[in-house]
Amino acid sequence: MENKKTALNSLHKKYGAKLVSFAGYEMPIQYSDGIIEEHKNTRENAGIFDVSHMGQLFIKGDETLAKNLEKIFPAELSNAKLNQSKYSFLMNEEAGIHDDLIITKVEGGFNIVLNAACKHSDLKLLSRLLDNKYEMILSEELSLIAIQGPKAVKILEKVINGVSNLKFMNGGTFKYLDEDIYITRSGYTGEDGFEISIKNKNTEIFVEKLINEGAKLIGLGARDTLRLEAGLCLYGHDMDINKSPVEANLKWAISKNRIREGGFIGFEKIKSQIEKGVSKVRVGIKPEGKIIAREKTSIFSEDDKNIGEITSGTFGPSVQAPVAMGYVENSFSKIDTKVFLEVRGKKYPANISNLPFYKKSYVKGVSK
């Protein structure tokens, strides 16, 4: 089947993108500057990411909607303020993760941003779980653009007045070309930034404006190195249907209230894992030398026992060293535990590390 194209496909080509197939879309892996320069530009200035392949789902409903969504997601949604975003999971009864997502309370319901490869199956599952009680729209008319980095707020403020007043994990409706656009202060790079939901027809002119103000286009390659340095999971790699939020070291995303009250899919398993512990857990891993341990690299203990596997690994341009994440047996998950990584038949020393590798630069308050 032919790959879909985002509204920025022509612009990607104009700026020299190397395009690849990703989650059913033709997407830029990098531009002419290369992955390392794109990574550095995002950390030091501002990078633009086309994330329009992701699903933008609007669920329209009355006052019963939040309570019914709480039967599915472990997020606290009944007390969510208007325009507040929450990170959460769509799970099965065994707490295996179908998808990780961002839910935002908006006028008339909730917006949910879904991973590209999961969005259609998520829609079917949610429709069934909600008994088709609510109107659900998985938009094909909207693009999703992220601008990330320390200069993101200044650049975006020049184009959309008022965005600097947004708090982290909060959004709002703004005007662009006399049409509503929705912007949240969020992202997946470890930097301050914004995600902009905008009509396809206005996307190219909007992104050109950001470029003219000093931001640069960034491909999937640097998006991966940025999120890994920030200790952020990639669905289908660092988490999937065979791993729970507790095993993925993401139980911080489930509030104490929800753990105490329960009532969501996967709750019994989550509660049991929190009380009894888990046999495997996601950890950060720092190779001692220059070796890069890619996904599926086996992890061994000092006495040569196979204790786990790498799920993401790369060279971190901001930390100037190889970095990785993976799952190890819980008894080997303590920080600074010595492990060995088997790369091309040879074992290399590494250490269990704190996450993130790179200090996150989110803005908790409001930028002035």
Q: Using pLDDT thresholds of 50, 70 and 90, give the confidence band for residue 361.
A: confident
Domain residue limits, the chain: 4-51+140-229, 279-368
Given a cut of 90, whether residue 39 has pLDDT beyond it is: yes
Helices (H), the chain: 9-14, 35-44, 64-70, 119-129, 152-159, 200-212, 220-229, 256-261, 267-276
Is the bond into 356 cis (omega within 30 degrees of 0)? yes
Q: What token pair was written down for 97?
A: 């993760």
Shortest CA distance to 181 belongs to which of 56, 6, 26? 56
Show the tokens assigned to 315. Answer: 């060279």
Percent of the chain at pLDDT > 90 equals 96
Query: Token pair for residue 152?
Result: 């993101």
Contact 112, 102 (CB under 8 A): yes
The residue among 2 and 269 whose pLDDT is bigger is 269
Of 240, 151, 152, 261, the closest CA to residue 196 belongs to: 152
> What are the tens digits of pLDDT across the range 88-126?
999 999 999 999 999 999 999 999 999 999 999 999 999
- The pLDDT tens digits of the residues spanning 42-88 come to 999 999 999 999 999 999 999 999 999 999 999 999 999 999 999 99
Written out in words, the top-level CATH class of the domain with range 279-368 is: mainly beta
Question: What does the pLDDT read at residue 283?
Answer: 98
pTM, two decimal places: 0.95
Residue 13's CB: how many other CB atoms inside 10 A?
12
> 204 is written with which tokens?
């190219």
Please give the angle made by the CA atoms of 111, 115 and 118, to the nearest 5 degrees.
105
Between CA 258 and CA 59 the distance in angstroms is 22
Report the C-alpha gap between 113 and 65 in whole angstroms: 17
Query: Does the pLDDT at position 367 exceed 50?
Result: no
Q: Which CATH number fits domain 4-51+140-229: 3.40.50.720, 3.40.1280.10, 3.30.1360.120, 3.40.50.12780?
A: 3.30.1360.120
Model confidence band, residue 365 (pLDDT cutoffs 50, 70, 90): low
pLDDT tens readout for residues 301-358: 999 999 999 999 999 999 999 999 999 999 999 999 999 999 999 999 999 999 999 9
- 285 CB neighbour count, 10 Å cutoff: 27
**CB atoms closer than 10 angstroms to residue 342:** 15
Q: pLDDT class for 364, splitting at 50, 70, 90? A: low
Closest CA to 193 of 362, 318, 11, 324: 362
DSSP string, 249-266: T-GGGS-HHHHHH--STT
Burial (CB count <10 Å: 0-12, 13-18, 19+), residue 301: middle
pLDDT at 368 exceeding the cut of 50: no
DSSP assigned state of 3? P
Q: What is the pLDDT of residues 145-202, one digit of tens each?
A: 999 999 999 999 999 999 999 999 999 999 999 999 999 999 999 999 999 999 999 9
- How much is the pLDDT for 109? 98
Report the first-to-last Cα separation within the chain, whole angstroms: 48
Close Cβ partners of 183 (under 8 Å, ≥ 6 residues apart): 156, 160, 163, 166, 171, 172, 174, 194, 195, 196, 197
